[in-house]
Structure 1
Amino acid sequence: MRIVNVILAGGASRRFGEPKASHVYQGKPLYEHVKEQLLKGETVIISHPKLLPFFKARGEQAVWLDDEQVRGYGPLAGIYTAMQKQEAEWYLVTACDMPFIRKETAVALSSYCHEHVDAVIPMVQERLQPLFALYHRRSLPFISACLKENQLAIKDLLQKLHVQVVPADELNVAPNEFHNINKRSDLPENGMI
């Protein structure tokens, strides 16, 4: 089973005030905290145009802007672009602003991938977490359809797919592991929330 990790770093980060992916936290950029916790294998980054030089300077090779036809269409555009540009069976999609995720959770999540499922989504504190989730390549036509119909919310996509929802307790999720960073004040000084 070939899985490609996809880091979504294409947002404007308006509330944060600067691109979140490049913000240095505890000695390294936020995206590196995320990248270190992903599955073995290739990682691709879907970047905001302003961040391309930053990622290239850090030696990242697989860095792409959203496909021009869907640029500015949010996370679905990033997932679409990754699937269009990189062949794989499954894609572990994560936002660049989730620095507390753990490799153990990614591995546990991947164990739920099978042929009758299009997406594997964690359920944490009664909320689906579609931006740390696995999507099968067969979901690409549905993503494309959502983008064409201007249905840009991931929940619209999930209604079209066969989704395996995995409760947090089955994944042994750490407290606040799925906390994402929207504002600078969301980053605790000591690294723990």
Structure 2
Amino acid sequence: MHVVNVILAGGASRRFGEPKASHVYQGKPLYEHVKEQLLEGQTVIISHPSLLPFFKARGEQNVWLDDEEVRGCGPLAGMYTAMKKQEAEWYLVTACDMPFIRKRTAEIILSYCTEHTDAVIPLVHGRLQPLFALYHRRCLPFVHACLKENQLAIQDLLRKLQVRIVSEEELNVTSNEFCNINKRSDLPENGMI
């Protein structure tokens, strides 16, 4: 099964006050905490324009801006760009601001991928987690349709797909694993929430 990891780092990080992907936490940028926990294989980064020099300076090879046609349209634009530019069967799509995710969780999510499933989405703390989830390549036309129709919420996309929801019990998640870092106070000093 050919999987490409996609780190979404194209947001403006307004609440955080600086680009989250490059914020150093416990000795390394947030995006590196995420990257270390992804599946084996290639990783692509969908970047905010201001972060291109940062990623290049860190030796990242596959860093792209959102496709011009959909630039500024949020996570769906990043998914569309990755799927359009990089051939794969499955895409592990993740936000750059989830430094506590674990490779083991990604591997369990991958185990639920089947030929009849378009997306595998965790359900944690009563909420779907579409930004640490797997999407099949056949989602690309649905992502594109959502973008063309200005339906930019990932929930709009999920309504069009065959989705396998995986519970936190099935994933055996840690208490803080799916915490998004939206403001500096979300980052505890010792790495635990």
The TM-score normalised by the length of structure 2 is: 1.00
Q: CA shift at 1:176, angstroms?
A: 1.4
SS at match of 2:15: coil
User: What number of residue pairs does the alignment pair up?
Assistant: 193
- 2:22 corresponds to: 22
Q: Distance in 2 between matches of 1:176 and 1:54?
A: 27
Q: Does 1:137 align with 2:137?
A: yes
Tell whether 2:79 aligns with 1:79.
Answer: yes
Offset at 1:145?
0.2
The answer to whether structure 1 residue 126 and structure 2 residue 122 are counterparts is: no
SS of alignment partner, residue 51 of structure 1: helix
- Using the alignment, how far apart are the partners of 2:187 and 2:171 within structure 1? 24
Q: Which residue of 1 aligns with 2:157?
A: 157
Distance 2:174 2:42 in 1: 25
The residue type paired with residue 31 of structure 2 is: Y
Query: What is residue 46 of structure 1 aligned with on the other side?
Result: 46
RMSD: 0.3
Post-superposition shift, 1:178? 0.1
Structure 1 gaps, min length 5: none
Distance 1:2 1:131 in 2: 19
Partner residue in 2 for 1:113: 113
2 CA distance for matches of 1:95 and 1:122?
14
> How far, CA to CA, are the matches of 2:190 and 2:172 in structure 1?
23
1:32 aligns with 2:38: no
Residues 121-169 of structure 1 deviation map (CA, whole Å, 9 limit, x = unaligned): 0000110000000000000000000000000000000000000000011
Question: When the two structures are superposed, what TM-score results if normalisation uses the length of structure 1?
Answer: 1.00
Percent identity over the alignment?
A: 82
Give the Cα separation in 2 of the matches to 1:142 and 1:94: 19
Aligned equivalent of 1:10: 10
**How far apart, CA to CA, are the structure 2 residues paired with 1:84 and 1:53?**
23
